[in-house]
């Protein structure tokens, strides 16, 4: 089978940069053992209490809590949602529940890609591309890569470098001398308006949140087959507004048809969260395919 020949546009990046309360209906001996076993910190279990984060508002916790589920992972299983809630339910969640859901959702896949190809290095810097027929880059192939800073030299007739930054609006940063542009404006500049982007990669040091928010609003992502993003986040939501803003982007991506086929924690950015008991990272590389691609064409 003849391999597709891709035109690659590489755009440079701009660096802008306790004690748990246990209320269980259990014999006193088990209650004491549960406390000694160390239930998840910051998590409050209470019998017959409505689950605060589930999308099914009618779901209630069982009156009898299984002793084996009072270990350190119990809070993550109950409050770290693998499926994102509705925006209405999200706004009722606590900061801790938002943080647990962010780390749980972003670290797990929700679609299977049967064949992946690693493009680039095996370590930091490489990215996985799904080769399943429904999402495989076609011909003529178009790839946008935001985030390389090492070179502005043309490597081949099909690879072009431009010193631009992706952003949520078209603007100029005086202190850095950089131009920021939306994806829509960049595509228009390269005469790519209306084209399908086979792969859109972003590693832009935090600028992904605002940029993706704009792409969702403008529907620029509707013609993107695969979306590869490194999400940057310091591990803990400081305010509910911050949690809502970040999780809204992930909810909107899911609603737009983007499903995660590969998730990778950047080992160079390990962090210990006060809310999440397992070592996390401040940089998650998430790889999506667009299941609505055929409907959008």
Q: Phi first, then psi: what are they for 290, rounded to 5°?
A: -100, 105
CA distances from 280 to 81, 100, 116, 209 (A): 16, 11, 25, 19
- Per-residue pLDDT, averaged over 290-296, amounts to 82
Of 260, 266, 265, 258, whose CA–CA distance to 292 is shortest?
258
CA separation for the pair 240, 9 (Å, rounded): 37
Percent of the chain with pLDDT over 90: 48
Q: Which residues of 95-115 are buried (b: 16+ CB within 10 A; e: fewer)?
A: bbbbbbbbbbbbbeeeeebee
- Residue 271 neighbours by CB distance under 10 Å: 14
Of 129, 130, 145, 210, whose CA–CA distance to 10 is shortest?
145
Q: At 136, is the pLDDT very low, low, confident or very high (cuts 50, 70, 90)?
A: very high
CA separation for the pair 60, 66 (Å, rounded): 15
CA separation for the pair 32, 22 (Å, rounded): 10
What confidence tens digit (pLDDT) does each residue in 224-274 have? Answer: 999 999 999 888 899 999 999 999 999 999 999 999 999 998 878 877 777
Average pLDDT, the chain: 78
More confident of the two residues 164 and 189? 189
Q: Is the pLDDT of residue 147 over 50?
A: yes
What confidence tens digit (pLDDT) does each residue in 1-33 have? Answer: 455 667 776 665 443 333 233 233 334 433 333
Tracing tokens 């007739």 back to the chain, one arrives at 157
Maximum distance among all Cα pairs of the chain, rounded to whole angstroms: 74
Residue 219 in tokens: 């529907």
Helix, strand, or coil here: 212? helix
CA separation for the pair 91, 87 (Å, rounded): 6
Dihedral, CA of residue 122, residue 129, residue 224 and residue 241, to nearest 10: -50
pLDDT at 58: 32
What confidence tens digit (pLDDT) does each residue in 60-106 have? Answer: 333 343 445 556 678 788 888 899 999 999 999 999 999 999 999 99
Residue 182 DSSP class: -
Residue 164 in tokens: 């631009």
Q: Is the pLDDT of residue 43 over 50?
A: no
Of 210, 145, 232, 205, whose CA–CA distance to 15 is shortest?
205
């Amino acid at each position: 089978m003849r391999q597709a020949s891709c035109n690659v546009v590489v755009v440079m990046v701009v660096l802008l940069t306790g004690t748990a309360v246990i209320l269980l209906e259990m014999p006193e001996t088990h209650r004491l053992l549960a406390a000694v076993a160390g239930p998840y910190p910051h998590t409050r279990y209470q019998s017959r209490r409505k689950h605060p984060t589930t999308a099914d508002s009618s779901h209630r916790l069982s009156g009898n809590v299984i002793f084996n589920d009072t270990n350190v992972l119990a809070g993550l299983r109950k409050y770290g949602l693998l499926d994102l809630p509705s925006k209405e339910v999200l706004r009722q969640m606590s900061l801790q529940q938002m943080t647990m859901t962010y780390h749980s959702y972003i670290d797990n896949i929700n679609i299977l890609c049967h064949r992946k190809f690693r493009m680039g290095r095996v370590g930091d810097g490489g990215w996985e591309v799904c080769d399943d027929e429904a999402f495989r880059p076609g011909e003529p192939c178009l790839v946008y890569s935001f985030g390389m800073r090492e070179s502005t030299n043309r490597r081949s007739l099909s690879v072009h470098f431009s010193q631009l930054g992706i952003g949520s609006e078209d603007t100029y940063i005086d202190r850095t001398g950089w131009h920021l542009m939306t994806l829509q404006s960049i595509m228009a500049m390269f005469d790519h308006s209306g084209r399908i982007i086979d792969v859109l990669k972003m590693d832009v040091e935090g600028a992904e949140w605002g940029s993706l928010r704009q792409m969702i609003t403008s529907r620029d992502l509707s013609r993107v087959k695969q979306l590869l993003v490194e999400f940057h986040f310091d591990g803990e939501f400081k305010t509910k507004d911050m949690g809502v803003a970040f999780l809204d982007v992930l909810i909107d991506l899911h609603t737009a048809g983007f499903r995660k086929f590969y998730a990778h924690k950047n080992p160079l950015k390990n962090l210990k969260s006060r809310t999440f008991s397992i070592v996390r990272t401040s940089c998650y590389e998430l790889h999506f395919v667009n299941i609505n691609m055929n409907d959008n064409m």
